[in-house]
Amino acid sequence: MELAGDDRAQSIQIGAVLLFGVLIIAFSSYQAVVVPDQNRGVEFNHNQGVQSDMQDLRNAIVSVPGSTSTQAISIGLSPRYPSRLVARNPGPASGSLRTNGTSSMRYNITVRNAAADGETEDIWNGTARSYNTGTIAYSPNYNVYANPPTTYYGQSVVYNQFPTANLTISDQAMVDGRDITLVALNGSLSRTASDTVSVDIQPVSRSDDPIIVRNDTASTNVSISVPTRLPQSVWEELLEEEIDDNPGNLDNDSYVANVTATDGPGPYYNLTITFEQTPKGYRLRMAKAGVGTGVTNESAAYLTGVTDSTSVTRGSSTDIVLEVRDEYNNPVQGVSVRGGVDPNSEGALAQSTRVSDNDGQVTFDYQTSQTTSTGTQQLNFSYIGLDSTFNETTPQNATLSVTVTTQSGGGGGGGGGGGAAGGSVYYNAVTQQIEAIDTDGITQYTGPSVEAKGLSRLVDIDSDSDTDIVFVDSNGDLASTDTRVPIQIYDDSGNVNQNTNIGVGDWDGDSTTEVVYVRNGDIYDYEPATGNRRHIQKNSNAGGSGFVQASAIAGIGDFDSGSTGLEIVFVSGRNSKLSYISLPGESVMQVNAEPNSAAAVSQPSDFDGDGTIEIAYATGNGDMQLVDSGGTDRSTVGSNVAEVPLGAVDWDSDGIPEIVYANSNDNNNLYYYDYIDSTSTTITDSNRDKISTTSDAGTS
């Protein structure tokens, strides 16, 4: 018997072959499609991470002006692909991080038409100043992700550059209102790798302190030029909030007048930012950040005065402080500076040589005797040598002036009538603290939380090298405060008049500083150094009780431009007229001027620059007038002047003080009025916020 044929084994073999073929095709498809697609995602995500790393790098660089130590930033140059059991990844991707332009002066930051004041003007005198800089670029070499961007850091901005477009991924930090911050890159960096690299950002030259620069002539504007790979249109977007739509309008916080970009050098544009002219000037901060190898240190470039001018009473001494700076206006340590009195001047320096400290500063003690001539004495300093070839205009040299007087003036009235150059004292209605702000909007002093109802200006009453503020509190007590010691009570009677200026100065010529104030309607003076208090009397022929009656103090100053010294200027308690007295027991002199409010008077100062001391006072309806001791009234000035104490401060640094007042139509925010150009300007802090005071304290 024969069996029938059977071919089933061939079917199994064919099926197995077909199944294996399907697996091969599926694996091939996975290897050819899925793996690249997954790796493309890995590479894309890595690129996003590198952009974040580049922003960290940018933040480290732009913070160099305030940094004191090297910062290390890690940047992952290539991605890590996931491990696979069967499929294979491509070879490792790589990336490169390199500097461009940092070793060639073709690529530079240039500041033009910028002039500073004082000895700093020896180097910042309007001539163009250039500083080498460049960019840092990350370029990936991916296996799958096609046409990734090159990511750049340059001129405070991180951006992606594609073949046909640019995409910024950070803001700019060069311009912020009147603040200009320029950080130059120095050094050489070139790394190509498949791992993570660490980049050290070295603060080669840095300082928190800016210099103030203004246009050097009436027909020029301060400008900065920088190399950038971004076109003009992108920078106009980055600077949108800083560009003034109405150039010349100084009432807003936008100061950029124009932005232009021209081709070159190389693949870069030369971007120029032109600023408006403003009497306030611009706060210029510069720094040098080192990356990689070949970083160069900075040496001394110029010598400038921290105390450009000062005064000293004959027979006493005063500190003269100078600073050694590099080309970036930052302090240089360890430089030997020589000093001496000019051959045509008098007095002596206690030290002939000093070495600059960590802040680049040197301090000399200028000494006088009772026989030292009064007037201006010249002191010469240099770190290249004092000899017959000394030239004060050489940047490495400096000549500072000291005015020797027979008596100390100033205080709440401004001794000679020049007005306070440092800034304004006020009671902040928001923080409810006594504060002082300088003419750059930087807070000099923040006092305790006490309610002040009358203020003096900043003055070193107790000769401890720290400034004091005398004030009347809400209890009617007179006190002082500074940053070193707690509040000191000068008069705890509870009867000190409020809503008035307080005079501080040596009005009686005994070489001791007095605080002059009103208590129970009479004028008193108090000497913090001795604890002596006087109830000020007048010539009995003038009538009255024999004591000088007052409603408010204006201040102390040479109001009558006479030879007898300084006067107390006040508002009479008898007839509300402006009055003054030169010495205890002398006659009270009256001026033909009657303030609308006894409180609304200023310190004695030369507001119009004519050499005669005036008082500014409120006339009602929000107006002010100036009057001198002869009763000569100037034209009505100002607008919306609140009837609270007025101040005298040289806010625009032109040597002539402005009238500081609270604006009654703007929530008692502080303004200053410039008599020379008939303009009122808002006073703002470093954040460009307005400053509001109260109707009791005003300003000083």
Say if CB 419 and CB 663 are below 8 A apart.
no
Q: Are residues 465 and 589 in the same domain?
A: yes
Which of residues 364, 379, 404 is at a domain's end?
Answer: 404
Pick from 599, 650, 610, 654: nearest CA to 632: 610
Q: Supply φ then ψ for residue 595, to 5 degrees.
A: -60, 145
Say how far apart CA 354 and CA 566 lie, in whole Å.
37
Supply the range of the domain harboring residue 468.
Answer: 411-682
In a domain, 14, yes or no: no
3-state DSSP assignment of residue 146: coil
Residue that terminates a domain, selected from 404, 436, 463: 404
Distance in angstroms (rounded) separating the CA atoms of residues 258 and 244: 8
485 and 607 share one domain: yes
Q: Are residue 329 and residue 265 in the same domain, yes or no? A: no
- Same structural domain for residues 479 and 611? yes
- Please list the residues that pair with 321 across neighbouring strands: 363
Cβ(651)–Cβ(439) below 8 Å: yes
Residue 413 pLDDT grade (very low, low, confident, very high; cuts 50, 70, 90): very low
| pLDDT score for 3 | 53
**How many Å apart are CA 299 and CA 109, to the nearest integer?**
19
Domain count, the chain: 3
**Considering the domain boundaries, does residue 2 fall inside one?**
no
Report the chain's mean pLDDT, rounded to a whole number.
85
CB distance 358 to 68 below 8 Å:
no
End residue of a domain, out of 388, 404, 420: 404
**169-178, 435-444, 580-589: which range is least confident on average?**
435-444
Cα–Cα nearest to 563, from 339, 689, 406, 674: 406
User: Which CATH number fits the domain that encloses residue 624?
Assistant: 2.120.10.30
Domain check: are 366 and 419 in the same one? no
Angle in degrees, CA 629, 634, 639, rounded to 5: 120
Cα–Cα distance list, 327 to 60, 301, 393, 398 (Å)? 22, 5, 16, 16
Q: Which two tokens stand for residue 439?
A: 């003419």
When comparing pLDDT for 272 and 164, which is higher? 272
Distance separating alpha carbons of residues 456 and 650, to the nearest angstrom: 16
| Same domain membership, residue 552 and residue 439 | yes
Q: Residue 620, Cβ neighbours under 10 Å: how many?
A: 11
Whether residues 464 and 446 share a domain: the answer is: yes
173-210, pLDDT tens digit by residue? 999 999 999 999 999 999 998 889 999 999 999 998 89
- 335 in a structural domain: yes
Residue 691 lies in a domain: no
**Are 399 and 415 part of one and the same domain?**
no
Q: Specify the pLDDT at position 416.
A: 43
CA-to-CA dists, residue 641 to 383, 577, 613, 686, 698, angstroms: 50, 19, 21, 24, 11
In angstroms, the CA 648 to CA 418 distance is 8
**Average pLDDT value for residue range 630-645:** 78
414: confidence class by pLDDT, cuts 50, 70, 90: very low
Task: Indicate whether 128 and 51 sit together in one domain.
Answer: yes
692 domain residue, yes or no: no
pTM score > 0.75 for this model?
A: no
Determine, yes or no, domain membership for 67: yes
- 3-class DSSP assignment, residue 53: helix
363 and 420 share one domain: no
Which residue in 20, 182, 191, 34 sits closest to 111, CA to CA? Answer: 182
* pLDDT tens for each residue of 123-173: 999 999 999 999 999 999 999 999 999 999 999 999 999 988 999 999 999
Q: First vs last Cα of the chain: how many Å apart? A: 133
Q: Assess if residue 474 is contained within a domain.
A: yes
Mean pLDDT of 624-640: 79
By CB neighbour count within 10 A (0-12 exposed, 13-18 middle, 19+ buried), where does 389 fall?
A: exposed
Cα distance between residue 285 and residue 71, in whole Å: 20
What one-character DSSP code corresponds to residue 31? I
Same domain, 565 and 633: yes
Residue 624 lies in a domain: yes
Check residue 30 and give its pLDDT: 62
Which of 93, 180, 96, 188 minimizes the C-alpha distance to 143? Answer: 93
CATH number for the domain that contains residue 359: 2.60.40.10
Beta-strand relationship, 623-628 and 614-620: antiparallel
* Domain co-membership, 354 together with 464: no
DSSP for 450-476, please give it.
--EEEE---B-SSSSSS-BEEEEETTS
Pairing status of strand 135-141 against strand 150-154: antiparallel
